[in-house]
Structure 1
Amino acid sequence: MATKALRQKSLPPEMVEWSKPLPKEQWAKPSDELVRLSEEVRRIRNADPQRLIEDVFAEAYRRQGLEA
């Protein structure tokens, strides 16, 4: 009963404003390293979809010269 009353209350205007999504130009950009690693993961996964995801990431890290 108390939770229903809380849900019916409106949020303060500051909280409503804070909760709005950021404009796309303010979104965080992935690093070049993350983009390369993601592409490598997709290549490995496409070549062998049944491979365990842990093995896919380990192989992608190895191919990129990174430590897992």
Structure 2
Amino acid sequence: MVASLNSQDLRRAAPWRIGITLGDVAGIGPEITLKALAALAGEPGPDFLVVGDAAVIHRANRDFGLPLQPMS
């Protein structure tokens, strides 16, 4: 038997968590990643998990004055 999910099933499902990597930490990866997530803050949708060096993430969040709150 094959099961499939349609959009209504997905909306009823538990919240999704999507992992995103920072990309090149010496480049614009942290800035682009965190600014994109800040733009989505407060919107309904999945939870995002940023995967990368915690110090780089905290520094980028601070340097760009973003409202993102870390969680562990």
TM-score using structure 2 length: 0.25
* Greater RCO, CA 8 A, separation 6+: 2
Higher strand share: 2
Higher helix share: 1
Rg larger for: 1
TM-score using structure 1 length: 0.26
